[in-house]
Amino acid sequence: MEWNSRSAEELAAALRAGDVTSVELTDEAIARIERDDESINAICVRTFDRARAAARRADQARARGEDRPLLGIPVTVKECYNIAGLPTTWGMPMHRNYAPAEDALQVSRLEAAGAVVLGKTNVPLGLQDIQSFNEIYGTTNNPWDHRRTSGGSSGGSAAALASGFGALSIGSDLAGSLRTPAHFCGVYAHKPTLGLAAPRGMVPPSAPALPVDLDMAVVGPMARTARDLTLLLDVMAGPDPLTLGVAFDLTLPPARHERLGDFRVLVLDEHPLIATGSAVRAGVKRVADALADGGARVERHSPLLPDMTEAATLYMQLLFSGTVAYFPVDEYEQLRSRAAQLSADDQSLDAARWRAMVFSHRDRLVANNRRELHRHGWRQLFAEFDAVVCPITPSPAFPHDHNPDLLGRRIDIDGVEYPYLDQLVWAGLATMPGLPATAIPAGRSPEGLPVGVQLIGPMFEDRTPLRLAELLEQKIGGFQAP
């Protein structure tokens, strides 16, 4: 097996033992990218000279007796993170020449931990799609089937990991942008609890890198094993030193259980607003069967589960009410006109999206109050359960669809078409209340495409779904290379 097909944990052990050097790992990763990435197009900004220099420094540091969590390990970074002197475009052509002067906080944490950054990974335009393509960098293909998407918006990172381009990557997630690409490409990802990992410097081009709290959006780790997720999360987690970090240190509670048989799990595979495809249902069943076989308590229903229809509607309201804040006035007025034409009886998610784009401040406050009630409902549920297992999207990776009208697109689920954006409801189940969720591989579709599921855990108890992911990896297996 090539070194760069191995986990970060294995590479760290080999580096400590002197079995390999960081320069050797980095050269092998670069050679693999140069060999294979023309057909995948995952690495949109290559930083090979920087990477080789960082690898030499890592080897020198290790020779001096230093050891850090990621010392000498090749990684990639999603394009939307600022790296001083490198393009940060978010796929927007008008910003193709923008390069920030400072690194994002998470890039600084990676480098402080000793990581070697190979390059930046591709994203959709403005990070606003479940695919990864834009006019600057082109389309990222799924390593399992180049006719299909790798997912978005961290699709470049997931494709890079599946292809062996580095052992780890960092991405972001507002609408499943960590979890969906992991599901489509057969790798692991973790959406942290809202606020757990500071996002400063993961900002649109030319925007100031302020230490602000984002609504629903998080930054988080991607990897090829569950244990590597924990390794990288420990590097990323913690408050921003400019704000909460002035007064607080982070101490995550341990996982609730260490044995699979001690977990109490609620399993969901049906949503009231969209069908679940047979391949995804099979993936959920495989995980549920493994849990039951391992002695875990598995339930399929609970009156404690917050209403999923209202949760999906609230998620769309909160997501889309924030998308139009900087629209020109004339475009905003067109949206108002379009929303006013909706029938009062239309309670579809499409209608919720149109109405949300012209929400008043009062409307937003009402939605936020409903969200707090849902958060409290989840606290009550997690007094009885340790995790919720459910889909990430209703289907495996779908064929590339570059129709610029997202609201006009459709998604095929076992031969039936649904509005494209309705597939976000499963991602929103964890995003809307700010819960941690770990994406894990759960099998293959009949066409051989990866299928993943997510493990949702209690707020700020990220180690619980991460530990469950480790135990399930031991039980059913994990990443397999395309």
Q: Any idea which residues carry the catalytic annotation?
A: 78, 153, 177
- Residue 429: which of 377, 363, 357 has the closest Cα? 377
d(CA 169, CA 156) in angstroms, rounded, equals 10
Q: List the end-to-end C-alpha distance of the chain, in Å, as a whole number.
A: 14
3-state secondary structure 263-319: CEEEECCCECCECCCHHHHHHHHHHHHHHHHCCCEEECCCCCCCCHHHHHHHHHHHH
